[in-house]
Amino acid sequence: MRLVLVGPPGAGKGTQAQFIASNLSIPKISTGDIFRANVSGGTELGKLAKEYMDRGDLVPDEVTIAMVRDRLSEDDARDGFLLDGFPRNVPQAEILKKMLAEFGVALDVVLELVVDEDEVVRRLAGRRTCGRCGRIWHVDFDDKKDDICDACGGSLYQRDDDKEETVRRRLEVYQEQTAPLVSFYAEEKILVGVDAAGPVEEVTRRAMEALAPHVG
């Protein structure tokens, strides 16, 4: 199966990508993993990307796309893959479609993790990070009523990225830039939506059920 996973920040994409890819016996390919592999491996693309990152600039689309092309041409992705974090917008989706056509294949399905905005805010804004060991706790899910890490006794704090106003801004950016992908893939008739609320195992079960008709 050739699959793309989409959804807003806080939808649980990273976690679900791992479980779904494992269940389908296909590699999980995330742009973060690709970047790290190229940079740590000292590839030409990695060196180029590092120049941009060291300056604090966004890595241009053409560099990201070249890395994705290289990764998708590897042997383990020949019979299927799960893409997480690419494409991020409609132009990238169109490039991916052409790229796969050159390989003689096409996407089977795009799985959208659907979650209410207020639920995303609750998930992300409720996180507290330990300043000593780095462990993350949640005010609701872990019933944390104090600001002390139960693992090491360190003090907990709320990262700037997890503050409500920042989370809502990230959701706005998602709606502006990435949500049009949903319409694009709906028109391609390969979009499947899954309710991403509830326990991780339950969301994975729903996802696998939704994907079952598309498994070759």
Q: Is 13 a catalytic residue?
A: yes
Residue type, 97: K
Options 2, 71, 123, 127, the catalytic residue: 127
The residue whose two tokens read 């106003």 is 165
The residue annotated as part of the active site, out of 47, 159, 163, 169, is 159
Show Cβ contacts of residue 105 under 8 Å, excluding neighbours closer than 6 positions.
Answer: 2
Q: Strand ranges (DSSP E) for 115-161?
A: 127-130, 136-138, 156-157
Active site residue 170: yes
Nearest-angstrom CA–CA distance, 96 and 92? 6
Phi, psi (degrees; rounded to nearest 5) at 75:
-55, -40
128 is catalytic: no
- Given 88, 97, 122, 168, which residue is catalytic? 88
| Catalytic pick among 2, 13, 28, 71 | 13
Q: Catalytic: which of 69, 170, 205, 206?
A: 170
Q: How many CB atoms lie within 10 A of CB 202?
A: 12
State the maximum Cα–Cα separation within the chain, in Å, rounded to a whole number: 56
Q: Which residues form the catalytic set?
A: 13, 88, 127, 159, 170
